[in-house]
Amino acid sequence: MRAAGLALLVACAVCATAQAWATFRMAGTQDPRVAVRFVEATSGDSAGMVEVWAENRLGGPVEVSLAPESGSGIAGDPPLPMRTLLRGFERKRVARLNAQPDRRLRLHVVPGTPDAQPRDVEYAYPLQTSQLRIEQGWGGAYSHRDAQNRHAVDFAAEIGTPVIAARAGTVMEVEADFAQAGLDAEIYAGRANFVRIVHDDGTMALYAHLDANGVLVRVGQRVRKGQAIGLSGNTGFTAGPHLHFTVQANRGMRLESIPFRMFGPQGILRFTEPK
Ligand SMILES: [Zn+2]
């Protein structure tokens, strides 16, 4: 009997630990850009609480919000919902929460810092060619209507044309594993190969639809204006080979494209503000 009692005690201790670990879970599929981990604090001033640690895998700042998937907020330091900024590659404790059984949390990630102050600079033409054909400009009806793409430009470019940095910065994010293309937005929207470069003023340039094996830089790398960063292609949501270029800023958990000036192969390019 003694032995059985001991076994029961051990089993219960294991079960209690497992319950504590299961207090919080992430809802849905994990965002590959920011890893979240829960740590049950057993000592120190967080004892009995669950620490939430977040690790930014991008080479530039991201703003994250963490909120319960449903139901009421969660008490803690800070309480949920909450928002915070993570620097490039930063790993930090973002909250410590009062344990609650079986709560699911949702993480929302937006690249960039909300205090970006766009400087008025002249961007270089992002393709190493003297040819210039604009397939779609600012506010284009086909796919430049939403806030993220309103000031985007599609430059026609043969597959394999070198893509160059229009402005100096740090490579914060790359997608290099996507080889397909198509016109089904549900499958292909947002899934092209791309390079995202963060500038010193906090704005970011996006170079998209790069060729399979067409990303020539790595996350965290510093690039100078005019440096080759990729090869243009036709990956993702696209009807033909082109480079999608836009400058974006995080405007408080929301990406917005912003107007830019550019010097093209034959002089200043003039884009008109969409109505
Ligand atoms: Zn475009």
What spacing in Å lies between the alpha carbon of 93 and ligand 1's midpoint? 37
**The 228-232 sheet, strands edge to edge:** 162-164, 228-232, 210-215
* Mean pLDDT across 126-136: 95
What spacing in Å lies between the alpha carbon of 222 and ligand 1's midpoint? 25
Three-state DSSP class for 118? Answer: coil
Fold topology of 20-111: Immunoglobulin-like (2.60.40)
Domain assignments of the chain as residue spans, ordered by start: 20-111, 122-269
* Mean pLDDT across 212-224: 96
239: number of Cβ within 10 Å:
14
R_g of the chain computed on alpha carbons: 23
* Mean pLDDT across 9-35: 70
Residue 33, CB-side half-sphere exposure with 13 Å CA sphere: 21
pTM above 0.85, yes or no: yes
Interval 71-89: pLDDT, tens = 999 999 999 999 999 999 9
Which pLDDT value is given to residue 275? Answer: 80
Q: Identify the architecture of domain 122-269 in CATH.
A: Distorted Sandwich (2.70)
What spacing in Å lies between the alpha carbon of 143 and ligand 1's midpoint? 6
Q: Which helix (DSSP H) or strand (DSSP E) does residue 2 occupy? A: helix 2-21
Interval 85-106: pLDDT, tens = 999 999 999 999 999 888 999 9
Which pLDDT value is given to residue 192? Answer: 82
What spacing in Å lies between the alpha carbon of 263 and ligand 1's midpoint? 19
What spacing in Å lies between the alpha carbon of 200 and ligand 1's midpoint? 24
What spacing in Å lies between the alpha carbon of 159 and ligand 1's midpoint? 16
CA distance 55 to 84: 12
